[in-house]
Amino acid sequence: MISAPLLLVTKIQIQKFIYSFSLYLVINLIYYFTSCLGVWRSSQSYKGNKILSFLARLVVVIGISTTLLELKTIISIIYNI
């Protein structure tokens, strides 16, 4: 999830601070995808139970797909697309 509070901000407030919101969104996405990449790589080298490794990768796939769907909504709110 990118950020639930971002969806609670009104469109007028977003238009006032569009550059700040854009910067926040980019930094947040970079952090999120970096952490997902770390989980994916560590699950590949995990020596324990293979089910846990598979579940970690599954959660990463579900999380990224959910984030991309939310990102579409957030971008449409911010930029009035």
Residues 14-30: b if buried by 16+ CB within 10 A, e if exposed: beeeeeebeeebeeeee
Give the pLDDT confidence score for residue 20 in this predicted structure.
Answer: 80
pLDDT confidence bin for 71, thresholds 50/70/90: confident
Q: What is the pTM of this model?
A: 0.69
Give the pLDDT confidence score for residue 7 in this predicted structure.
Answer: 63
